[in-house]
């Protein structure tokens, strides 16, 4: 089969012929890949920053068809994820970017990205999905069966969910592998944080957690309308940053709360893309708040002026670089939140203990539990087909679909910020 392979030390992508993967464990699934994505996280290895020296098949985003199942799969498998009983050859599936067992304490809690048995696709430990076929370990706990939506939840009625699956393109569904769940995860981490609750509920900390105690019975002055305006910054407007912005806008519009969002990126092309995406979203997904896209310097001025120098309620860092973390710290308020879903390297966090103490900043770092986030991401995918449902249009998140022969150039162009989301068709 043909596969996109990374060769050390850096910047060396080749399309090569390799053996088709085979079942190695009873829980394995072999998937014939229909489409595979190029993700910003792939660039860390591409640039030689991953500490990897092994040639391997790249990519951790893929959608495809089941062609082979291990012996664990069959009817009425007891005490294991439902997919071990229902998954069949021929089913269409999408995979999160890591495998996970779905059975351990960590997975049962929903923290699937840190399953002790989980492995990242497209790494030295597990060949990735930028290939014509891919082996999925622990497939019953990892995959989502798009041919049988009864095996996963959604806020949509069952008939509507099935209807959506028939009309959504594979290129759109592929976004469920990583970038859309990660964007939703970033927004959710910010909005559900305890420090945001005073603004959402309208009572000061910690009375906002005590329904039986009212502010009227205390000595605190009540919150003003301006006190309750949520101010967010999004640093990094690549594909994941755009997904985070769309998700945050939708969540705020649903809650009908006052807000302002400042989206920023060092690249003008990405800022312009974000503006175009925002313009394409209908009113139901925008809410009644403010949304501006600015350069880094202008964002600092805007936030200082609109908050009276207080700063952001929360900052979503979607870059994965110390400079972005420094900017996040500069923009966040005291008792604010920094949510970082950018993939960081070995460089140290650019803060001292005193800086952290002096601002009472809360941090949420790390990998999105993509499988756990799938239902929420699917619902947003259905709602926002104006952004996620097209390819190659000005407001499309996906810029192009190309064959493997374009892989080396696509990696180079994506690395240089010359192109946005690229998807590979392994059979083109």
pLDDT greater than 90 at residue 222: no
| H helices present in 294-406, as ranges | 296-306, 322-331, 353-359, 370-383, 385-388
Structure tokens at 263: 């989206």
Distance between CA atoms of residues 378 and 380, nearest Å: 5
Distance between CA atoms of residues 243 and 341, nearest Å: 12
DSSP strand pairing (92-95 vs 56-57): unpaired
Cis peptide before 9 (omega within 30 of 0): yes
Look at residue 178 in the predicted model and tell me its pLDDT. Answer: 95
Taking residues 258-276, report their average pLDDT. 96
Contact 43, 415 (CB under 8 A): yes
pLDDT greater than 90 at residue 136: yes
Please, which pLDDT band fits residue 217 given cuts at 50, 70 and 90? low
pLDDT greater than 70 at residue 412: yes
Which residues lie below 8 Å from residue 360, measured CB to CB, with a gap of 6+?
A: 334, 335
For the ranges 253-257, 301-305, 402-406, the lowest mean pLDDT is seen at 253-257
pLDDT greater than 80 at residue 133: yes
Encode pLDDT of 349-385 as tens digits.
Answer: 898 889 889 999 999 999 999 999 999 999 999 999 9
Structure tokens at 52: 């990897």
Residue 380's closest CA among 260, 253, 232? 253
**DSSP class of 331:** H
Please, which pLDDT band fits residue 213 given cuts at 50, 70 and 90? low
Give φ, ψ of 420 to 5 degrees: -95, -135
Contact 181, 96 (CB under 8 A): yes
pLDDT greater than 60 at residue 215: no
Contact 98, 152 (CB under 8 A): no
| Rg of the chain over all Cα atoms, to the nearest angstrom | 22
Contact 141, 83 (CB under 8 A): yes
Look at residue 216 in the predicted model and tell me its pLDDT. Answer: 59
């Amino acid at each position: 089969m043909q596969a996109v392979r990374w060769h050390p030390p850096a910047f060396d992508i080749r399309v090569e012929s390799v053996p088709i993967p085979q079942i190695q464990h009873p829980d394995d699934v072999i998937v014939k890949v229909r489409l595979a994505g190029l993700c910003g996280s792939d660039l860390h290895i591409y640039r030689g920053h991953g500490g990897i020296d092994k040639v391997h098949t790249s990519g951790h985003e893929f959608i495809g068809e089941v062609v082979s199942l291990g012996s664990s799969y069959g009817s009425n498998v007891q005490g294991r994820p439902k997919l071990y009983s229902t998954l069949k050859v021929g089913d269409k599936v999408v995979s999160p970017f890591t495998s996970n067992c779905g059975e351990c304490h960590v997975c049962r809690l929903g923290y699937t990205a840190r399953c002790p048995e989980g492995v990242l696709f497209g790494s030295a430990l597990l060949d990735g999905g930028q290939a014509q076929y891919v082996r999925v370990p622990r497939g019953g706990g990892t995959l989502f069966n798009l041919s049988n939506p009864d095996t996963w939840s959604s806020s949509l009625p069952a008939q509507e969910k099935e209807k959506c699956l028939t009309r959504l393109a594979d290129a759109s569904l592929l976004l469920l592998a990583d970038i859309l769940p990660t964007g939703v995860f970033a927004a959710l981490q910010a909005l559900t944080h305890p420090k945001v609750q005073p603004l959402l509920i309208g009572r000061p900390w910690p009375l906002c957690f005590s329904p039986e105690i009212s502010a009227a019975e205390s000595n605190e002055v009540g919150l003003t309308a301006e006190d309750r305006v949520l101010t967010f910054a999004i640093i990094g407007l690549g594909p994941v940053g755009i997904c985070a912005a769309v998700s945050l806008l939708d969540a705020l519009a649903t809650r009908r709360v006052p807000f302002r969002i400042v989206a920023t990126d060092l690249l003008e092309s990405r800022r312009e893309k974000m503006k175009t995406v925002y313009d394409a979203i209908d009113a139901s997904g925008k809410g009644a708040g403010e949304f501006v896209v600015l350069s880094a310097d202008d964002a600092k001025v805007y936030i200082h002026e609109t908050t009276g120098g207080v700063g952001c309620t929360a900052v979503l860092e979607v870059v994965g670089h110390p400079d972005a973390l420094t900017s996040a710290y500069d923009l966040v308020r005291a008792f604010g939140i920094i949510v970082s879903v950018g993939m960081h390297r070995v460089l140290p966090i650019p803060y001292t203990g005193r800086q952290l103490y002096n601002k009472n900043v809360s941090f949420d770092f790390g990998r999105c539990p993509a499988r756990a986030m799938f239902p929420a991401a699917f619902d947003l995918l259905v709602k926002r087909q104006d952004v996620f449902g097209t390819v190659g249009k000005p407001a499309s998140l996906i810029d192009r679909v190309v064959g493997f022969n374009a892989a080396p150039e696509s990696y180079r162009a994506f690395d240089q910020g010359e192109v946005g989301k690229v998807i590979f068709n392994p059979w083109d």
